[in-house]
Amino acid sequence: MGFLDIFKKNTEKSERFKEMQLQAKLEKMLNERNKTSNERELERFHEEERQKMITQNLKEFREHRQKEDQETTVLSGPNMFKGKGNMMSGKATILNGNDKLFSVKKGTKSKGMFFK
């Protein structure tokens, strides 16, 4: 009898829920009919503006989240290829910025500390 009792309770709940939905729908229809056409139109415009703002805020939030996610991944981690000491960035590093150590690399004939 346990299964039947559970099934009976669930069906009673769903019937009550359906009744409550119908009641809410009827109340909404009555409220809409009591308003003037100008009030309904004004509310419609307000709702459209609210939905636009929600869409815009959601878009900004998604872009911000996507940007954060890209910065925290392993391959494109924070400043992995953008740092000052990066050999690929073309900025001064120890390999191409120290003339005493690597003067042969640039084609000069002077003797460097390691390359003679």
CB 67 within 8 A of CB 78: no
Residues 22 and 49 placed together within one structural domain of the fold = yes
DSSP 16-51: HHHHHHHHHHHHHHHHHHHS-HHHHHHHHHHHHHHH
Structural domain includes residue 68: yes
Encoded amino acid at 20, one letter = M
Question: Total domain count for the chain?
Answer: 2
Residues 68 and 113 placed together within one structural domain of the fold = no
Quickly state the pLDDT bin for 110 (edges 50, 70, 90).
low
> Which range of residues forms the domain containing residue 100?
91-116
Structural domain includes residue 3: no
> Is the model's pLDDT at 96 over the cut of 60?
no
> Is the model's pLDDT at 86 over the cut of 60?
no
Residues 68 and 95 placed together within one structural domain of the fold = no
Nearest to 56 by CA among 64, 68, 45: 64
> Is the model's pLDDT at 75 over the cut of 90?
no
Structural domain includes residue 29: yes
